[in-house]
Chains A and B, each alone.
Chain A
Amino acid sequence: MRNKIIAALLLAALPVGAALAQSPQDQFKAAYEKAEATNKKAGELRNQWTVTANALKAAKAAADAGDFDKALKLAEQAEALAKASIVQTEREKTAWKDAVIR
Protein backbone atom coordinates (compact mmCIF):
# COMPACT_ATOMS: atom_id res chain seq x y z
CA MET A 1 0.00 0.00 0.00
CA ARG A 2 2.78 2.40 0.97
CA ASN A 3 4.64 1.69 -2.27
CA LYS A 4 1.50 2.36 -4.25
CA ILE A 5 1.04 5.77 -2.59
CA ILE A 6 4.63 6.73 -3.28
CA ALA A 7 4.28 5.65 -6.89
CA ALA A 8 1.08 7.68 -7.26
CA LEU A 9 2.71 10.77 -5.76
CA LEU A 10 5.66 10.42 -8.08
CA LEU A 11 3.37 10.09 -11.09
CA ALA A 12 1.39 13.15 -10.02
CA ALA A 13 4.56 15.16 -9.61
CA LEU A 14 5.87 14.28 -13.08
CA PRO A 15 4.05 17.00 -15.07
CA VAL A 16 4.99 19.63 -12.46
CA GLY A 17 8.56 18.49 -12.67
CA ALA A 18 8.43 18.64 -16.46
CA ALA A 19 7.07 22.20 -16.36
CA LEU A 20 9.73 23.25 -13.91
CA ALA A 21 12.30 21.68 -16.14
CA GLN A 22 11.07 23.77 -19.11
CA SER A 23 13.20 26.79 -19.83
CA PRO A 24 11.45 30.20 -19.80
CA GLN A 25 12.03 30.25 -23.54
CA ASP A 26 10.18 26.94 -24.00
CA GLN A 27 7.35 28.05 -21.73
CA PHE A 28 6.95 31.22 -23.78
CA LYS A 29 7.06 29.27 -27.03
CA ALA A 30 4.31 26.90 -25.87
CA ALA A 31 2.12 29.77 -24.61
CA TYR A 32 2.67 31.78 -27.80
CA GLU A 33 1.73 28.85 -30.03
CA LYS A 34 -1.42 28.28 -27.98
CA ALA A 35 -2.38 31.96 -28.22
CA GLU A 36 -1.74 32.03 -31.96
CA ALA A 37 -3.84 28.92 -32.52
CA THR A 38 -6.73 30.37 -30.49
CA ASN A 39 -6.52 33.66 -32.36
CA LYS A 40 -6.50 31.76 -35.66
CA LYS A 41 -9.74 30.10 -34.61
CA ALA A 42 -11.20 33.55 -33.84
CA GLY A 43 -10.18 34.57 -37.35
CA GLU A 44 -11.99 31.60 -38.84
CA LEU A 45 -15.05 32.83 -36.95
CA ARG A 46 -14.53 36.29 -38.53
CA ASN A 47 -14.11 38.08 -35.22
CA GLN A 48 -10.54 38.74 -34.17
CA TRP A 49 -9.76 41.57 -31.79
CA THR A 50 -7.05 44.14 -32.48
CA VAL A 51 -5.86 43.90 -28.87
CA THR A 52 -5.11 40.19 -29.33
CA ALA A 53 -2.85 40.94 -32.28
CA ASN A 54 -1.20 43.74 -30.27
CA ALA A 55 -0.54 41.41 -27.32
CA LEU A 56 0.95 38.76 -29.62
CA LYS A 57 3.18 41.35 -31.24
CA ALA A 58 4.31 42.69 -27.85
CA ALA A 59 4.97 39.13 -26.62
CA LYS A 60 7.16 38.45 -29.64
CA ALA A 61 9.02 41.72 -29.13
CA ALA A 62 9.64 40.92 -25.45
CA ALA A 63 10.91 37.46 -26.37
CA ASP A 64 13.18 38.92 -29.04
CA ALA A 65 14.57 41.25 -26.35
CA GLY A 66 15.23 38.23 -24.12
CA ASP A 67 12.57 39.11 -21.50
CA PHE A 68 10.79 35.77 -21.42
CA ASP A 69 8.85 36.42 -18.18
CA LYS A 70 7.20 39.43 -19.79
CA ALA A 71 6.80 37.56 -23.08
CA LEU A 72 5.06 34.66 -21.33
CA LYS A 73 2.63 36.98 -19.53
CA LEU A 74 1.78 38.75 -22.78
CA ALA A 75 1.29 35.49 -24.65
CA GLU A 76 -1.07 34.27 -21.92
CA GLN A 77 -2.91 37.59 -22.11
CA ALA A 78 -3.23 37.20 -25.88
CA GLU A 79 -4.71 33.73 -25.44
CA ALA A 80 -7.24 35.02 -22.89
CA LEU A 81 -8.28 37.81 -25.29
CA ALA A 82 -8.60 35.40 -28.21
CA LYS A 83 -10.73 33.09 -26.06
CA ALA A 84 -12.96 36.04 -25.08
CA SER A 85 -13.47 36.95 -28.75
CA ILE A 86 -14.57 33.39 -29.47
CA VAL A 87 -17.01 33.45 -26.55
CA GLN A 88 -18.41 36.73 -27.92
CA THR A 89 -18.85 35.22 -31.39
CA GLU A 90 -20.64 32.16 -30.03
CA ARG A 91 -22.93 34.31 -27.88
CA GLU A 92 -23.76 36.67 -30.73
CA LYS A 93 -24.83 33.83 -33.01
CA THR A 94 -28.23 34.15 -31.33
CA ALA A 95 -28.02 37.18 -28.99
CA TRP A 96 -28.17 39.67 -31.90
CA LYS A 97 -31.84 38.88 -32.39
CA ASP A 98 -32.67 40.47 -29.04
CA ALA A 99 -31.40 43.84 -30.30
CA VAL A 100 -33.43 43.95 -33.52
CA ILE A 101 -35.92 46.80 -33.89
CA ARG A 102 -39.45 45.48 -33.51
Chain B
Amino acid sequence: MFRKILISVACCAIFANGALAAETINPEQDFKEFRQFFQSKFPQVKLEDFVNGPYSVDEGLRKQWIEKEEFPPYDFALEKGKELMAKPFANGKTIADCFPNKGIGIRQDYPYFDAKEGQVITLELAVNRCLEQNGEKPFSYTGDDMASVTAYMAFTSRGKPFDIKIPNDPRALAAYEHGKQYFYQRRGQLNFSCASCHVQSPGELIRSERLAPALGILNAMPIYRSEWGGMGTISRRFTSCNSQVRGVPLKPQDAEYRDVEYYLSYMANGLPIVGPGSRP
Protein backbone atom coordinates (compact mmCIF):
# COMPACT_ATOMS: atom_id res chain seq x y z
CA MET B 1 0.00 0.00 0.00
CA PHE B 2 2.78 2.38 1.01
CA ARG B 3 4.50 1.65 -2.30
CA LYS B 4 1.33 2.49 -4.24
CA ILE B 5 1.06 5.84 -2.45
CA LEU B 6 4.68 6.61 -3.26
CA ILE B 7 4.11 5.84 -6.96
CA SER B 8 0.99 8.05 -7.02
CA VAL B 9 2.84 10.93 -5.38
CA ALA B 10 5.72 10.55 -7.85
CA CYS B 11 3.32 10.53 -10.80
CA CYS B 12 1.57 13.67 -9.54
CA ALA B 13 4.93 15.39 -9.15
CA ILE B 14 5.93 14.50 -12.73
CA PHE B 15 2.69 15.94 -14.14
CA ALA B 16 3.01 19.07 -12.02
CA ASN B 17 6.57 19.60 -13.26
CA GLY B 18 5.47 19.07 -16.84
CA ALA B 19 2.73 21.66 -16.50
CA LEU B 20 5.14 24.15 -14.95
CA ALA B 21 7.70 23.56 -17.69
CA ALA B 22 5.02 24.18 -20.32
CA GLU B 23 4.16 27.51 -18.64
CA THR B 24 7.76 28.64 -18.15
CA ILE B 25 8.42 32.16 -19.40
CA ASN B 26 11.58 32.06 -21.47
CA PRO B 27 12.30 35.32 -23.34
CA GLU B 28 15.67 34.05 -24.66
CA GLN B 29 14.02 31.02 -26.26
CA ASP B 30 11.19 33.16 -27.68
CA PHE B 31 13.79 35.54 -29.11
CA LYS B 32 15.58 32.75 -30.99
CA GLU B 33 12.36 31.25 -32.34
CA PHE B 34 10.93 34.63 -33.35
CA ARG B 35 14.05 35.57 -35.28
CA GLN B 36 14.39 32.16 -36.89
CA PHE B 37 10.77 32.32 -38.03
CA PHE B 38 11.21 35.60 -39.92
CA GLN B 39 14.59 34.72 -41.35
CA SER B 40 13.18 31.44 -42.68
CA LYS B 41 10.08 33.16 -44.04
CA PHE B 42 12.12 35.87 -45.80
CA PRO B 43 15.53 34.34 -46.52
CA GLN B 44 16.30 37.12 -49.03
CA VAL B 45 15.94 39.87 -46.40
CA LYS B 46 19.06 40.86 -44.47
CA LEU B 47 18.48 40.75 -40.74
CA GLU B 48 19.08 44.49 -40.19
CA ASP B 49 16.72 45.33 -43.07
CA PHE B 50 13.63 44.05 -41.23
CA VAL B 51 13.53 47.41 -39.41
CA ASN B 52 12.41 48.97 -42.69
CA GLY B 53 9.07 47.19 -42.46
CA PRO B 54 7.18 46.90 -45.76
CA TYR B 55 10.21 48.18 -47.73
CA SER B 56 12.15 45.09 -46.72
CA VAL B 57 9.69 42.85 -48.56
CA ASP B 58 8.45 45.02 -51.45
CA GLU B 59 10.98 46.27 -53.99
CA GLY B 60 8.57 48.76 -55.63
CA LEU B 61 7.71 50.41 -52.34
CA ARG B 62 11.38 50.45 -51.42
CA LYS B 63 12.26 52.48 -54.52
CA GLN B 64 9.55 55.02 -53.75
CA TRP B 65 10.73 55.24 -50.14
CA ILE B 66 14.36 55.86 -51.12
CA GLU B 67 13.24 58.75 -53.32
CA LYS B 68 11.01 60.10 -50.58
CA GLU B 69 13.92 60.06 -48.14
CA GLU B 70 15.62 62.83 -50.14
CA PHE B 71 13.09 65.22 -48.60
CA PRO B 72 11.78 63.22 -45.65
CA PRO B 73 8.23 64.07 -44.59
CA TYR B 74 9.25 63.82 -40.91
CA ASP B 75 11.81 66.66 -41.17
CA PHE B 76 9.41 69.22 -39.68
CA ALA B 77 8.84 66.94 -36.69
CA LEU B 78 12.58 66.75 -36.05
CA GLU B 79 12.90 70.53 -35.89
CA LYS B 80 9.87 70.83 -33.64
CA GLY B 81 11.07 67.98 -31.43
CA LYS B 82 14.46 69.58 -30.97
CA GLU B 83 12.82 72.85 -29.97
CA LEU B 84 10.42 71.19 -27.53
CA MET B 85 13.27 69.26 -25.89
CA ALA B 86 15.10 72.50 -25.15
CA LYS B 87 12.13 74.74 -24.37
CA PRO B 88 12.30 75.85 -20.74
CA PHE B 89 9.37 74.98 -18.44
CA ALA B 90 8.00 77.58 -16.05
CA ASN B 91 10.56 76.31 -13.52
CA GLY B 92 13.42 76.72 -15.98
CA LYS B 93 14.05 73.03 -16.55
CA THR B 94 13.56 71.26 -19.89
CA ILE B 95 12.47 67.87 -21.20
CA ALA B 96 16.12 67.14 -21.95
CA ASP B 97 16.93 67.58 -18.23
CA CYS B 98 14.72 64.60 -17.36
CA PHE B 99 16.73 62.09 -19.38
CA PRO B 100 20.21 60.56 -19.28
CA ASN B 101 22.57 62.34 -21.69
CA LYS B 102 19.93 65.05 -22.14
CA GLY B 103 17.81 62.58 -24.12
CA ILE B 104 20.35 62.23 -26.92
CA GLY B 105 21.06 58.72 -28.23
CA ILE B 106 18.96 56.87 -25.66
CA ARG B 107 15.94 55.61 -27.63
CA GLN B 108 17.35 52.07 -27.78
CA ASP B 109 17.04 51.68 -23.99
CA TYR B 110 13.24 52.15 -23.94
CA PRO B 111 11.01 50.61 -22.77
CA TYR B 112 12.57 49.36 -19.56
CA PHE B 113 11.25 47.59 -16.50
CA ASP B 114 11.29 49.80 -13.41
CA ALA B 115 11.92 47.59 -10.40
CA LYS B 116 10.77 50.24 -7.91
CA GLU B 117 7.41 50.70 -9.59
CA GLY B 118 7.11 47.13 -10.81
CA GLN B 119 6.03 48.21 -14.29
CA VAL B 120 7.22 48.91 -17.81
CA ILE B 121 8.21 52.50 -18.59
CA THR B 122 8.08 53.55 -22.24
CA LEU B 123 9.71 56.61 -23.75
CA GLU B 124 6.32 58.26 -24.28
CA LEU B 125 5.35 57.67 -20.66
CA ALA B 126 8.70 59.03 -19.48
CA VAL B 127 8.24 62.22 -21.54
CA ASN B 128 4.83 62.91 -20.04
CA ARG B 129 5.99 62.11 -16.53
CA CYS B 130 8.77 64.63 -17.03
CA LEU B 131 6.24 67.29 -18.02
CA GLU B 132 3.91 66.52 -15.13
CA GLN B 133 6.65 66.34 -12.52
CA ASN B 134 7.71 69.81 -13.59
CA GLY B 135 4.22 71.24 -13.38
CA GLU B 136 3.59 71.22 -17.13
CA LYS B 137 0.61 69.90 -19.05
CA PRO B 138 1.30 66.44 -20.53
CA PHE B 139 1.25 65.92 -24.31
CA SER B 140 -1.45 63.90 -26.00
CA TYR B 141 0.03 60.42 -26.48
CA THR B 142 -1.28 60.35 -30.02
CA GLY B 143 -0.54 63.96 -30.93
CA ASP B 144 2.14 65.85 -32.84
CA ASP B 145 4.15 67.15 -29.86
CA MET B 146 4.76 63.65 -28.49
CA ALA B 147 5.56 62.39 -31.98
CA SER B 148 8.01 65.25 -32.51
CA VAL B 149 9.90 64.80 -29.25
CA THR B 150 10.19 61.03 -29.66
CA ALA B 151 11.12 61.49 -33.34
CA TYR B 152 14.02 63.72 -32.36
CA MET B 153 15.13 61.28 -29.67
CA ALA B 154 14.96 58.41 -32.17
CA PHE B 155 16.85 60.41 -34.77
CA THR B 156 19.72 61.02 -32.36
CA SER B 157 19.80 57.27 -31.65
CA ARG B 158 19.88 56.06 -35.26
CA GLY B 159 22.13 53.07 -35.74
CA LYS B 160 22.15 52.12 -32.07
CA PRO B 161 20.82 48.60 -31.51
CA PHE B 162 17.79 47.99 -29.31
CA ASP B 163 19.05 46.99 -25.88
CA ILE B 164 15.98 45.93 -23.93
CA LYS B 165 16.61 44.13 -20.68
CA ILE B 166 14.28 41.75 -18.93
CA PRO B 167 15.59 41.45 -15.39
CA ASN B 168 15.25 38.19 -13.51
CA ASP B 169 12.27 39.55 -11.64
CA PRO B 170 8.95 37.69 -11.71
CA ARG B 171 7.13 41.01 -12.26
CA ALA B 172 9.27 41.84 -15.31
CA LEU B 173 8.75 38.36 -16.72
CA ALA B 174 5.01 38.68 -16.09
CA ALA B 175 4.94 42.02 -17.96
CA TYR B 176 6.86 40.45 -20.84
CA GLU B 177 4.45 37.49 -20.97
CA HIS B 178 1.47 39.82 -20.72
CA GLY B 179 2.77 41.75 -23.75
CA LYS B 180 3.31 38.54 -25.68
CA GLN B 181 -0.20 37.40 -24.82
CA TYR B 182 -1.68 40.72 -25.99
CA PHE B 183 0.25 40.42 -29.25
CA TYR B 184 -1.20 37.00 -30.03
CA GLN B 185 -4.76 37.44 -28.68
CA ARG B 186 -7.48 37.99 -31.24
CA ARG B 187 -9.83 40.89 -30.62
CA GLY B 188 -12.41 43.12 -32.26
CA GLN B 189 -15.31 42.08 -34.47
CA LEU B 190 -12.87 41.17 -37.26
CA ASN B 191 -11.22 38.66 -34.89
CA PHE B 192 -7.65 39.76 -35.62
CA SER B 193 -4.62 39.71 -33.38
CA CYS B 194 -1.47 41.78 -33.94
CA ALA B 195 0.09 38.49 -35.05
CA SER B 196 -2.65 37.83 -37.63
CA CYS B 197 -1.15 40.61 -39.76
CA HIS B 198 2.47 40.83 -38.67
CA VAL B 199 3.34 37.14 -38.11
CA GLN B 200 0.88 35.19 -40.22
CA SER B 201 0.66 37.60 -43.17
CA PRO B 202 3.70 39.93 -43.44
CA GLY B 203 4.48 40.79 -47.05
CA GLU B 204 0.84 40.25 -48.02
CA LEU B 205 -1.55 43.02 -48.97
CA ILE B 206 -4.45 43.99 -46.77
CA ARG B 207 -6.49 46.16 -49.10
CA SER B 208 -3.70 48.28 -50.59
CA GLU B 209 -1.39 48.11 -47.59
CA ARG B 210 1.72 45.91 -47.56
CA LEU B 211 1.95 44.32 -44.13
CA ALA B 212 5.23 44.70 -42.26
CA PRO B 213 6.94 41.81 -40.47
CA ALA B 214 6.70 41.98 -36.67
CA LEU B 215 10.47 41.68 -36.39
CA GLY B 216 11.87 45.20 -36.01
CA ILE B 217 8.46 46.80 -36.38
CA LEU B 218 9.09 49.41 -33.66
CA ASN B 219 12.62 50.38 -34.70
CA ALA B 220 11.34 53.05 -37.09
CA MET B 221 8.84 54.60 -34.66
CA PRO B 222 7.52 57.21 -34.56
CA ILE B 223 6.53 57.38 -38.21
CA TYR B 224 5.12 59.78 -40.74
CA ARG B 225 2.23 57.99 -42.40
CA SER B 226 0.84 59.25 -45.66
CA GLU B 227 -2.44 57.57 -44.71
CA TRP B 228 -2.59 59.74 -41.57
CA GLY B 229 -1.21 62.81 -43.29
CA GLY B 230 1.10 63.33 -40.36
CA MET B 231 3.26 61.85 -37.64
CA GLY B 232 2.18 59.02 -35.41
CA THR B 233 3.50 57.71 -32.10
CA ILE B 234 3.62 54.10 -30.97
CA SER B 235 0.47 54.86 -28.95
CA ARG B 236 -1.25 56.03 -32.11
CA ARG B 237 -0.14 52.92 -33.97
CA PHE B 238 -1.45 50.52 -31.31
CA THR B 239 -4.77 52.27 -30.76
CA SER B 240 -5.46 52.62 -34.48
CA CYS B 241 -4.66 48.93 -35.02
CA ASN B 242 -7.32 48.09 -32.45
CA SER B 243 -9.86 50.35 -34.15
CA GLN B 244 -9.09 48.85 -37.56
CA VAL B 245 -10.19 45.43 -36.33
CA ARG B 246 -13.29 47.03 -34.81
CA GLY B 247 -12.10 46.81 -31.25
CA VAL B 248 -12.48 49.71 -28.83
CA PRO B 249 -8.90 50.85 -28.14
CA LEU B 250 -7.65 50.94 -24.58
CA LYS B 251 -6.28 54.19 -23.20
CA PRO B 252 -2.86 55.05 -24.65
CA GLN B 253 -0.11 53.78 -22.36
CA ASP B 254 -2.39 51.36 -20.52
CA ALA B 255 -0.38 48.42 -19.21
CA GLU B 256 -1.33 46.19 -22.16
CA TYR B 257 0.19 48.61 -24.69
CA ARG B 258 3.33 49.23 -22.65
CA ASP B 259 3.79 45.48 -22.21
CA VAL B 260 3.33 44.67 -25.88
CA GLU B 261 5.89 47.38 -26.67
CA TYR B 262 8.23 45.71 -24.17
CA TYR B 263 7.73 42.32 -25.85
CA LEU B 264 8.21 43.57 -29.42
CA SER B 265 11.20 45.75 -28.54
CA TYR B 266 12.90 42.81 -26.83
CA MET B 267 12.30 40.71 -29.94
CA ALA B 268 14.14 43.43 -31.90
CA ASN B 269 17.19 43.48 -29.62
CA GLY B 270 20.36 44.01 -31.61
CA LEU B 271 18.56 45.61 -34.54
CA PRO B 272 19.27 49.31 -35.14
CA ILE B 273 17.00 52.22 -34.33
CA VAL B 274 16.03 53.88 -37.63
CA GLY B 275 13.30 56.22 -36.46
CA PRO B 276 11.65 58.37 -37.35
CA GLY B 277 10.39 56.49 -40.36
CA SER B 278 7.93 57.11 -43.12
CA ARG B 279 5.25 54.71 -44.29
CA PRO B 280 2.58 54.81 -47.01
Contact = CB atoms under 8 A, between A and B. Distances in A.
B185 interface: yes
B132 interface: no
A18 interface: no
Interface stretch (B139-147, B186-194, B223-231): B186-194
Contacts of A81: 189
B186 A96 contact: yes
A100 B191 CA distance: 16
A49 B189 contact: yes
B31 to A, nearest CB: 10
A84 B191 CA distance: 11
A77 interface: no
Given A99-B199, A100-B180, A101-B199, A50 B186 contact: no
Interface residues of B, number: 23
Q: Which of A81, A97, A100 has the most CB of B within 10 A?
A: A100
B188 A46 contact: no
Nearest to A39: B248
A92 interface: yes
B155 to A, nearest CB: 31
A37 B201 CA distance: 36
A49 B195 contact: no
Q: List 10 A-B pairs, minimum CB-CB distance, nearest first.
A: A48-B248, A96-B184, A92-B185, A96-B185, A101-B37, A49-B189, A99-B184, A50-B246, A51-B189, A101-B33
15 contacts: A46-B250, A46-B256, A49-B246, A49-B248, A50-B189, A50-B248, A51-B189, A81-B189, A88-B187, A88-B191, A92-B187, A95-B186, A99-B193, A99-B195, A101-B34
Given A46-B256, A50-B246, A88-B187, 17 more contacts: A46-B250, A49-B188, A49-B189, A50-B243, A51-B246, A53-B248, A81-B189, A84-B189, A85-B189, A88-B186, A88-B191, A92-B186, A96-B193, A99-B193, A100-B184, A101-B30, A102-B33
